Structure 1
Amino acid sequence: MKLRLHFVVDPMGWLCISVVFGIWLYNTFFVPKLVLLPHYEEGHIPWALVVCYYLASALCVMALFRASTADPGRLPVDPHIPHSEREQWELCNKCNLMRPKRSHHCSRCGHCVRRMDHHCPWINNCVGEDNHWLFLQLCFYTQVLSLFTLVLDFCQYYYFQPLTRLDQEKFTTRHELALLRVSALTGVVMFGGMSSLFYAQMAGVLSDMTTIEKMSQFSSETYGTKRSWQWALAEVCGTRWKLLWLLPLRSRQPLHTGHHYRSHV
């Protein structure tokens, strides 16, 4: 399956994703320039720490790009409905098109999405059946990068040895007050927000309930089921190979389940 790009025309969404990308660019450019690389050049930290930071940053931006451009599960205008599954389809009262149950019509995007969880303006895309795993990756890698940034900012103030090649007073005046404290503040906000969001998303995945279904107070007897965390994540990510759950640059293949109904067009 090829990776196809999916874009939502929404100026407000473009603004939100630009803010997220700006925060990522800020921490990816200034933190290594002011903290990571100078201390590495003077032998205060190992090269592996630098590699890990850039790896976390690369995975974070790849997950952001894939989550915002991947098709969340948009239904075509004239879907092919297998005869054995016709009872599992219903008519959307907004676009007057047939859709499988547990689909939802997104008013922002203007179409129905299979197993839609919610519309996220921060990625300018819906979170649905085909890109939910990418949204989980984005939340996870944002937590990792934010925590990494907070640890580096803390070490810069209280742990790392002073840099001998820089004027310490000049460095403090120009950079620490204006840049590193802003980096620490954004790190706290991003880590706290993404941690709560990731917890809520994982709870929904394990209970087989989307955010829309929770807000609509759907009966857990209808959709929510008890599943092992391995099977729940394998179904969302489209593979049983746990290592592939963490890789954003791949395609998702739906798993065939016997006790959960999933419609794919």
Structure 2
Amino acid sequence: MEYDYLPLQKKKDVHNKCCGGKFWCIKDICGIICAILTWLLIIYAEFVVMVIILLPTINTFYSSVNMVIFQMLTFLAFASHLQTMFTDPGAVPKGNATKEKIQQMGFREGQIILKCPRCCSIKPDRAHHCSVCQRCIKKMDHHCPWVNNCVGENNQKYFVLFTFYIAGISLQSLFLCIHQFTTCVRQEWRECSTFSPPATVVFLLFLTFEALLFAIFTAVMLGTQLQAIWNDETGIEQLKKEEARWVKNSKWKSIRAVFGRFSIAWFSPFTSPPNAKIKLDSYLYSV
């Protein structure tokens, strides 16, 4: 029974893949709805900030600078979200607990090999099984419905950037809303917006609530992620209070393991994390 999964390895692993296996994607209806809702909320913020707040005074230095900053943050937030969503977080191949693969790993007779009974895989150290992705994920931190994916070894950088840029958008939106309210009150709502005063108030109030909510939420998530990276301990390991069976990296090495050497590329969702660049045989793990 231990080696009944050999036929699975003779086929290309296309589980959780789309577009002919080019992209990683989780077909979870809840996650898809949350991801679409995320995009809609960003688009709403874009609409209110651009159409109601900035465009009426496009020729001023204040509007021009804020427009450039907001557009840049929005683009980077979208890119980070898509990268987090469509990047393999570090999934262990399904059904790789075969006799041949175990022999390749060179284990001594009687040595303990950890296997996942749910995805029939040789389980690497610090990997956890995700019931939504239906895979074991290397250095799994948590499964996030807002990105419809697990946050793991290969996409944690993108998730951190996503929370960072959404927090930036939220704080800027909050500042712009407060400034717009005070400006409209001083002008007694004359030439304050292309919309009527009641409609303008409704748009601004909803954006203020959205910005405040997401500023708090993403700031907490960002802080949690940075703390986990700093301490070289994933969210699941902290939650389960697992005893460290691995040699913990120093704090600086832990950061470099996620972001790479310090450079402007730290803030780019278009540069791959260091672990994603290392082409290792995904079957050969020491556990």
Report the TM-score range of the alignment, normalised by the length of the smaller protein: 0.7 to 0.9
Counterpart for residue 61 of structure 1: 78
Query: Is the Cα contact below 8 Å between 1:132 and 1:236 reproduced in 2?
Result: yes
Query: Is the Cα contact below 8 Å between 2:89 and 2:153 reproduced in 1?
Result: yes
Counterpart for residue 254 of structure 2: 232
Q: 1:113 to 1:214 in 2, by over 3 A?
A: same
SS in 2 for 1:49: helix
**Structure 1 residue 91: Cα displacement:** 1.0
Pairing partner for 1:48 from 65, 70, 90: 65
Distance (Å, rounded) in 1 between the aligned partners of 2:31 and 2:193: 41
Which one has a bigger Cα radius of gyration? Answer: 2
Counterpart for residue 23 of structure 1: 41
- Give the 5 Å matches for 1:126-141: 126-141=150-165
Pairing partner for 1:243 from 264, 269, 272: 264
Distance (Å, rounded) in 1 between the aligned partners of 2:113 and 2:197: 63
Distance (Å, rounded) in 1 between the aligned partners of 2:107 and 2:213: 45
What is the letter of the counterpart of residue 254 of structure 2?
A
SS in 2 for 1:104: strand
**Structure 1 residue 88: Cα displacement:** 9.4
**Identical aligned residues as a percent:** 24
Query: Is the Cα contact below 8 Å between 2:35 and 2:145 reproduced in 1?
Result: yes
Query: What are structure 1's unaligned runs of at least 5 residues?
Result: 257-262
Q: 1:264 to 1:211 in 2, by over 3 A?
A: farther
Distance (Å, rounded) in 1 between the aligned partners of 2:66 and 2:112: 51
What is the letter of the counterpart of residue 36 of structure 1?
L
Greater mean alpha carbon deviation, residues 59-68 or residues 152-161: 152-161
Distance (Å, rounded) in 2 between the aligned partners of 1:169 and 1:83: 68
Distance (Å, rounded) in 2 between the aligned partners of 1:95 and 1:201: 27
Distance (Å, rounded) in 2 between the aligned partners of 1:241 and 1:62: 21
What is the letter of the counterpart of residue 104 of structure 1?
H
Distance (Å, rounded) in 2 between the aligned partners of 1:156 and 1:85: 67
TM-score in terms of structure 1 length: 0.84
TM-score in terms of structure 2 length: 0.78
What is the letter of the counterpart of residue 173 of structure 1?
P
Query: Is the Cα contact below 8 Å between 1:63 and 1:134 reproduced in 2?
Result: yes
Counterpart for residue 18 of structure 2: none
Query: Is the Cα contact below 8 Å between 1:150 and 1:187 reproduced in 2?
Result: yes
Q: 1:169 to 1:198 in 2, by over 3 A?
A: closer
Pairing partner for 1:72 from 82, 89, 94: 89
Pairing partner for 1:101 from 125, 143, 158: 125
Q: 1:118 to 1:141 in 2, by over 3 A?
A: same
What is the letter of the counterpart of residue 39 of structure 1?
T
Pairing partner for 1:196 from 220, 242, 261: 220
- Give the 5 Å matches for 1:165-180: 166=191, 171-175=196-200, 177-180=201-204
What is the letter of the counterpart of residue 172 of structure 1?
P
Counterpart for residue 117 of structure 1: 141
Counterpart for residue 259 of structure 1: none
Q: Give yes or no for the alignment of 1:254 onto 2:278.
A: no
Q: 1:158 to 1:264 in 2, by over 3 A?
A: farther
**Structure 1 residue 44: Cα displacement:** 5.7
Query: Is the Cα contact below 8 Å between 1:162 and 1:168 reproduced in 2?
Result: no
